[in-house]
Structure 1
Amino acid sequence: MAQITVYALSTCPYCKKAKTLLKELGADFEAIDVDLLPKEEQNKILEIVKKLADSCNPKVNPGFPTIVKGKTIIVGFNETKIKGLV
């Protein structure tokens, strides 16, 4: 099982950048393109993403990419923080 989970949108340029960076760093990650899932699964994942955003910072709006490793949650593309996960 991957250590890092990336909740992404297939059309999001920042999601693509995050996945590319993780690949370049050799990270073991699972990417879930939420917009490509069936509607019922999309709704479940969106609820997870909302809870993750609230748990890391209630003032942060849920967004993409949302990157999770253990208790560390990164909302949005932040190269420095993403490099810190690997």
Structure 2
Amino acid sequence: MTGQSTSLYAAWISTLFGFDAWGYLLRQYDAAVVAPYSLLVPVFGISSAAVVLHERMNLLEIGASALTTIGVAVTTLRRRSSPTPTEPRP
């Protein structure tokens, strides 16, 4: 890709999509529920650059992305399965 199309992708397409998706999530859910997903921004950035711009991911980037994704999944699933303060504990 040319430098101009790379800048167009990075500055406009990914930014506008990211802000639109983030705004939608914040309108639908509490900020405390959505906040852990902000940790996935670099993962999506690296992954989309690999897909759209054909950049190669090295082993460290793949491992860090997997570890971050697993961490967000664990905290999200744990929060979903734990009782809220308004629910009585068994």
Give the structure with the larger strand fraction. Answer: 1
Q: Does the TM-score normalized on the shorter chain lie above 0.5?
A: no
Higher relative contact order (CA 8 A, sep 6+): 1
Higher gyration radius (CA): 2
TM-score (norm 2): 0.29
